[in-house]
Chains A and B, each alone.
Chain A
Amino acid sequence: MSENARSPFSWAIEVQGLTKSFGYHPALRGIDLQVGRGERLVIFGPNGAGKTTLVKILSMLVRPSSGNVWLDGVNIRDKPAQVRRKIGLVGHQTFLYDNLTVYENLKFYSQMYGIANLEQRIQEVMSWMQLVDRRHDRVGTLSHGLQQRASLARAALHRPSIMLLDEPEAGLDPQASTVINDVMGNAGGDGLTVVMVTHNLERGLELGDSIVILNKGKVAYRASRHDIDTTLFRQVYNQCTETG
């Protein structure tokens, strides 16, 4: 099979020999990874392990130094606009404009994504994220938890097939975190593939189908959730991240 095309039955995410350096500092040192359609992959790792760099490459915000990435069988170098439609990203920041209301922000992104029936879709995602009552509030006036919900609504607007969540629960109260459960819970059933980066081992184990530990830019551990003894996992994590 050629490097550029993958069969339609291939992985949702396939990463081969991925490296990324910032100047002389290598952030990723040869990542190989496959994520099945509808799979919920949770990535753990200490600070500087390369988690955010990996997510940024998957979301096409950063170009890899070498290696290949296929999303839904399409090489991200070949059809960037087509691939971007498949991706929803919730990062450390919300990407929202403080001086615009929740509704105006969602409308702006709907128009940028060219979403049909955008009023209906905005209503749907606002209902899902319980933001209908706050639709006319400026984002800058919302609490961090509500802003993060609005960010999730933004990421879900265009019905992405791959959702990338980079520490989405940072600073969220437990009530707001239920929205993440919802996103992760809905994955699989409607074909949504989710990659979530978190430092919270318990939450990650609770939400993921499979687990990856990144350390020093490499995959140090990969296992299915069912094969993991949760009582021993912290020990495994410490071993992987201490020895590198």
Chain B
Amino acid sequence: MSTFARIITIFWKDILTELRAREVVTSVLVFSLLVVVIFSFAFSTRIDTAELVAPGILWAALTFGGVLGFNHTFAVEKENSRLEGLMLCPVDRAVIYWGKLAGSFTFTMVVAIIITPIFLALFNLPLFLPRLLLVIGLASLGFAAVGTLFSAVAINTRARDIMLPVLFLPVVVPVVVAAVRATAVVLADKSWSDMLTWLQIMIAFDIVYLVVSTLVFDFVVEE
């Protein structure tokens, strides 16, 4: 069985357990939705002001919602010592990381794809924004890459729920900033060239996060 097939095996296991337990997506969705709704009432929703505040609100909801979800990524493997079961398997540790990453990325995307149209409707913004999907995809990949790694770090600490945001948020700041700025460009209906720099920043950080996380994951899960 190939490395890729084993990554898919872990990914599918996570999808199946989530479909049955409905713990991650539901809680993250409710939390992110609450953030968006509260902000929509707090700010004026006139189209001119919405374009100014909306990008920040969307990414605040998705970032903090993401923290909630990533807390669960390896917590489920800690229960019943399942991580030890995975580590007994004759596979490279990176396979475990990529399998878990695929699950985290999917859950983040599912939440974002549900939240974003609601957010756009609440702020009276156009609903059909395909470029926004690209921004969400790149930012979610960066979030998932860092969130999966730090979730593995945090499960071995006593204050797991506090430790993850403390580790995660400072590291993903470049991606959050780039996502906010790229979203602002999309909402203002400016050209591709205006968002190119922000997309390049997200791609660059995604690559760095993925490479570094893959390399250090072995040390994180050993003891």
Interface of A toward B, CB cutoff 8 Å: 59-63, 80-82, 84-85, 87, 89, 91-100, 104, 108-109, 111-114, 138, 154
- Assess the B81–A59 pair: CB atoms within 8 A: no
For B81, the closest partner residue in chain A by CB is: A93
Give A59 to B86 CA distance when docked, in angstroms.
Answer: 12
Cα A82 to Cα B79 in complex, Å, equals 27
Q: Per a CB cutoff under 8 Å, which of B9, B17, B20 touches A112? A: B9
The answer on a CB contact under 8 Å between B80 and A84 is no
The contact of B6 among A60, A94, A112, by CB within 8 Å, is A112
**23 A-B pairs (CB sep. < 8 Å):** A60-B87, A61-B84, A61-B87, A80-B90, A81-B92, A82-B90, A84-B88, A84-B90, A87-B88, A89-B84, A91-B81, A93-B80, A93-B82, A93-B84, A95-B80, A97-B13, A97-B17, A97-B82, A108-B9, A111-B5, A111-B6, A112-B9, A154-B85
Residue B223 contacts which of A63, A94, A97, A138 (CB distance < 8 angstroms)?
A63
Contact (Cβ within 8 A) A100 B13: yes
Cα of A136 to Cα of B84 in the assembled complex, Å? 24
Establish whether residues A95 and B222, one from each chain, have CB atoms under 8 Å apart when the complex forms.
Answer: no
What residues on A are CB-neighbors of B6 within 8 Å? Answer: 111-112, 114
- List which B1-30 residues lie within 8 A (CB) of chain A: 1, 5-6, 9-10, 13, 16-17, 20-21
Q: Does B121 contact A (CB under 8 A)?
A: no
- Within the complex, the shortest CB–CB distance from A146 to chain B, in Å, comes to 15
Given A63-B222, A63-B223, A99-B20, decide whether A94 and B80 contact each other with a Cβ distance below 8 A: yes
**Complex interface: chain A residues within 8 A of B10 (CB):** 112
User: Given the interface contacts A93-B84, A94-B80, A97-B17, does A85 sit within 8 Å of B9 by beta carbon?
Assistant: no
Q: Which residues of B contact A112 (CB under 8 A)?
A: 6, 9-10, 86, 89, 91
Known pairs A60-B87, A99-B16, A108-B13 / 20 extra A-B pairs, C-beta < 8 Å: A61-B88, A62-B223, A63-B222, A81-B92, A82-B90, A85-B90, A87-B88, A93-B81, A93-B84, A98-B79, A99-B21, A100-B20, A104-B16, A108-B9, A109-B85, A111-B1, A112-B10, A113-B89, A114-B1, A154-B85
In the complex, are the beta carbons of A92 and B90 less than 8 A apart? no
How many B residues, CB 8 Å from partner? 25
Docked-complex contact B89 and A96, CB < 8 angstroms = no
A164, closest chain B residue (CB): B88
- Asked if A100 and B16 make an inter-chain contact with CB atoms under 8 angstroms apart, the answer reads yes
Pairwise interchain contact A89-B88, C-beta atoms closer than 8 A: yes
A175 to chain B, nearest CB (A): 23
B187 → chain A closest CB, angstroms = 39
Chain B residue at minimal CB-CB distance from A80:
B90
Instruction: Check A113 against B85 for contact (C-beta < 8 Å).
Output: no
- Interfacial residues of chain B within 73-106, with CB under 8 A of chain A in the complex: 79-82, 84-92
Contact with B80, one of A81, A87, A98, A113 (Cβ below 8 angstroms): A98
Q: Which of B17, B81, B86 makes the CB contact (< 8 A) with A100?
A: B17
Minimum-distance CB pairs A-B, first 9: A95-B85, A93-B81, A114-B1, A112-B89, A84-B90, A99-B20, A81-B90, A111-B9, A99-B17
Task: Kindly state the separation between the CA atoms of A194 and B223 in the bound complex, as whole angstroms.
Answer: 25
Cβ–Cβ < 8 Å partners of A96 in chain B: 80, 82, 85
Residues of chain B with a CB closer than 8 A to A95's CB: 80-82, 84-85, 88
Q: How far is the CA of A104 from the CA of B15 in the complex (A)?
A: 13
Interchain CB contact under 8 A, B17 and A81: no
Give the residue name and chain of the B residue nearest to A116 (CB): B1
Bound-state CA distance A154–B86 (Å) is 12
Contacts of B1 in A (CB 8 A): 111, 114
Q: Which residue of A lies closest to B8 (CB)?
A: A111
- B82 near A109: Cβ-Cβ < 8 Å: no
User: Which residue of the partner chain B has the closest CB to A104?
Assistant: B16
CA A150 to CA B61, docked complex, whole Å: 41
